[in-house]
Amino acid sequence: MRKKALLIVDDHPVYRDALGEKFSSEFAKWQVPVELAAGTNEGLAILNSGTDYDWVVVLDILLHGLSGEDAIALFRTQAHVKHVVAISGLDESEWKKRAIRSGASAFISKNNVSQFICDQVKELMDMPSYPMAASTEAIQEFRLTSRQREVLDLIAIGHPNKIIADRLAISEQTVKIHINQIFRELKVFNRTQAVLKAQKHLLV
């Protein structure tokens, strides 16, 4: 049986690295390699480097030079690519259908926390994932907004406020407001406590 591998293609360096760290951490126990590419050519070079893997490609559909549909179709037709998972901050109701029509196995909004994205990819790769029901219950219990969950996810990775602000295209002051609200909802007093509690309740 061929080994599995994951390729993340995203031209936003902060998001790409953050998602790569999350997947690497999640997949380490299964010894599934995680490769990162900043664009189409780099991604294709990795896929055609001669490594003997079955690939799942997590693909940002806003890459320079290709339309989202063309990028999906291009990666889907590569040898040993078993699934293309399209990700984007674009409107999910519109792009999910377009992505599937173009050959993607799934479309996942970037507004989801990285744990949700990991779990969706794990399902495609027939790998165990955390129970999403527990995560959903925790989200409802703590009444976190989607933006607050994004901030919490980036805090868990270890990013400072400035990087979080850059990644989410918001001001540092807005990040501070979100963090204060997260602390209040989780009933914690600092980042370490917030991350530990979020991990306990499968929020990150």
Q: Give pLDDT tens digits for 12-68.
A: 888 899 899 989 988 887 888 999 999 999 999 999 887 788 999 999 988 877 788
Q: What is the mean pLDDT of residues 180-184?
A: 92
pLDDT in tens, 119-172: 888 888 876 544 444 455 555 567 888 788 889 988 988 899 999 998 888 889
| SS3 labels along 103-146 | CCCEEEECCCCHHHHHHHHHHHCCCCCCCHHHHHHHHHHHCCCH
Q: Average of pLDDT values for 171-175?
A: 91
How high is the pLDDT of residue 122? 86
Structure tokens at 186: 């989780």
3-state SS class at 9: strand
Q: Which domain holds residue 48?
A: 3-124
Last residue of a domain, one of 69, 101, 124: 124
Give me the number of domains the chain comprises.
2
pLDDT of residue 175: 92
pLDDT for residue 130: 45
pLDDT of residue 134: 42
Q: What pLDDT, on a 0 to 100 scale, did the predictor assign at position 98?
A: 87
Domain boundary among 124, 155, 179: 124
Do 69 and 95 belong together in one domain? yes
Q: What is the mean pLDDT of the chain?
A: 85
Give the strands of the sheet with 81-88, arranged side by side.
34-37, 3-9, 53-60, 81-88, 106-109
Do 106 and 45 have their domain in common? yes
Among 94, 124, 154, give the residue marking a domain's end.
124
Split at pLDDT 50, 70, 90, the class of 180 is very high
pLDDT of residue 112: 82
Give me the pLDDT at residue 182, please. 93
Q: Answer whether 114's CB lies under 8 Å from 18's CB.
A: yes
Count Cα atoms within 13 angstroms, Cβ side, for 87.
Answer: 26
Q: What is the pLDDT of residues 74-132, one digit of tens each?
A: 999 998 899 999 998 877 777 888 889 889 999 998 888 888 888 888 888 876 544 44
Query: Across the strands, what pairs with 59?
Result: 9, 86
Global pTM reads: 0.62
Q: At 32, which CATH number?
A: 3.40.50.2300
